[in-house]
Structure 1
């Protein structure tokens, strides 16, 4: 089971869950995985109406005991749990603390580059440390909305994670964890557009529709409106492939070394 909590909302938990972890597990298992969203207020997964890589399930905070058996039985990471922010993450972490994780859980903590994002990531990490025997081994951080994938730029953008020798920062992740595992998630318009299309970037990249051919056919029929539409989708298809190769596959490579999948 892969659980994605953060005590602050708006840090990109659903982006990490659906755009990264879901396609990674689908690719590794070769079949749909279970995606559970726990959030009584916002159901971000509803945006993904056309995805074919997960079976979605909503779980209210009044039914958290259902996680007990799921954690025990999912020893091959076929379940993703996307946990809402604020009180929801606290409730879920308190519930899991009661039963333990049996070595079956990997944790991914997302954060943006804001100061509060970092402080809440630290608070979330501290709660996980009270649950896990080896928290640093089983914990990854997702640095969301990275402007660049260059290492130097990432370090200066995410001061709340790395700290900075010339700038004051009260407390950062690296103050608490030596060499924390992390991956940056590059911000890109294809992420936004994929949500409007109800899909994921990875699925857009591997959509087999020949939009170039459709654009040519529309042009021959004199239907320029349709031709422009297909050209737009062709561009999005190519940009999604580029994002998949340049960003997603690099993250997948890191996750393969971290998450043991029994094939």
Structure 2
């Protein structure tokens, strides 16, 4: 059963795997949609970076930076979880990761998380780190639900070739490849979702919005483009309208083909199903 007020954490001990991208582009829209389009509280635990600021125009969440160095971190976590709100915890890498996991465990709040999302790229070290974080969290709460977010996927068709460090050596060439699945409990090996690499992610950040929000805009860019052409408008205006139409179509396609599929996968996991 999916909780009424979802509490989801995005965690990885490795930097540069797209934690903030996954948080802003996938997890916040998912929680927003599942909780009746209510604004989500987004807590970024990172004393060095504030990546969510790239989405300053987004209205899906209210954002707050939380200091990991605070001596009252356990108490602050308890206060956060005690609020009657849906939330996303965006947890920084390196030492921050272990500090937060320890604080979540010591405060007992690790038992109030509905889902942990572990982003990873296709490198070997990404797989090793993802496996390690999974094992640590699972050791602190065996009932915790997980999903691995395979980020910057080049092709759905060849995802198992790109992410062979997760799926294993599908080519049959490297017999001793260290796949993450070798270290996972059987019930979680199929808990993964895909985030395709697409330039629309870059453009959405430039607009300060999520792809989800941009896909929901109901704008007739084609009609405006035809009108501009009929009026022999300036070249710059025509190009701008054409670009806006591209943005509109691209965000709608990404929502339909990528985000919606990821939403369904998280539904399955939260409802207790483990079907690929």
TM-score normalised according to structure 1 size = 0.90
Q: Deviations over 1:56-113 (max 9, x none)?
A: 1111112433112323556x7x100111111111111111111222343311101000
Counterparts of 1:48 and 1:124, CA distance in 2: 27
The residue that corresponds to 1:95 in the other structure is 103
Counterparts of 1:189 and 1:144, CA distance in 2: 14
Shift, 1:10, TM fit: 0.4
Any stretches of 5+ residues in structure 2 without a counterpart? 1-6, 272-276
Counterparts of 1:5 and 1:217, CA distance in 2: 48
User: Is contact 1:96–1:131 with CA below 8 Å preserved after alignment?
Assistant: no
The residue that corresponds to 2:260 in the other structure is 249
Counterparts of 1:213 and 1:37, CA distance in 2: 41
The residue that corresponds to 2:78 in the other structure is 68
Counterparts of 2:94 and 2:83, CA distance in 1: 28
SS in structure 2 at match of 1:130: helix
Root mean square deviation of aligned Cα: 1.8
Q: Does 1:148 align with 2:155?
A: yes
Change beyond 3 A, Cα 1:253–1:112: same
Out of 185, 191, 211, the position equivalent to 2:195 is: 185
User: Is contact 1:218–1:224 with CA below 8 Å preserved after alignment?
Assistant: no
The residue that corresponds to 2:250 in the other structure is 239
User: Is contact 1:72–1:102 with CA below 8 Å preserved after alignment?
Assistant: no
Stretch deviating more after TM superposition (200-209 or 213-222): 213-222
Change beyond 3 A, Cα 1:169–1:47: farther
Shift, 1:212, TM fit: 2.4
Shift, 1:169, TM fit: 4.6
Shift, 1:221, TM fit: 5.9
TM-score normalised according to structure 2 size = 0.86
Shift, 1:243, TM fit: 1.0
The residue that corresponds to 1:80 in the other structure is 88
The residue that corresponds to 2:174 in the other structure is 167
Shift, 1:171, TM fit: 2.8
Out of 45, 48, 62, the position equivalent to 2:52 is: 45
The residue that corresponds to 2:123 in the other structure is 114
Q: Does 1:130 align with 2:135?
A: no
The residue that corresponds to 2:208 in the other structure is 198
Counterparts of 2:204 and 2:182, CA distance in 1: 36
The residue that corresponds to 1:227 in the other structure is 238
Counterparts of 1:94 and 1:103, CA distance in 2: 15
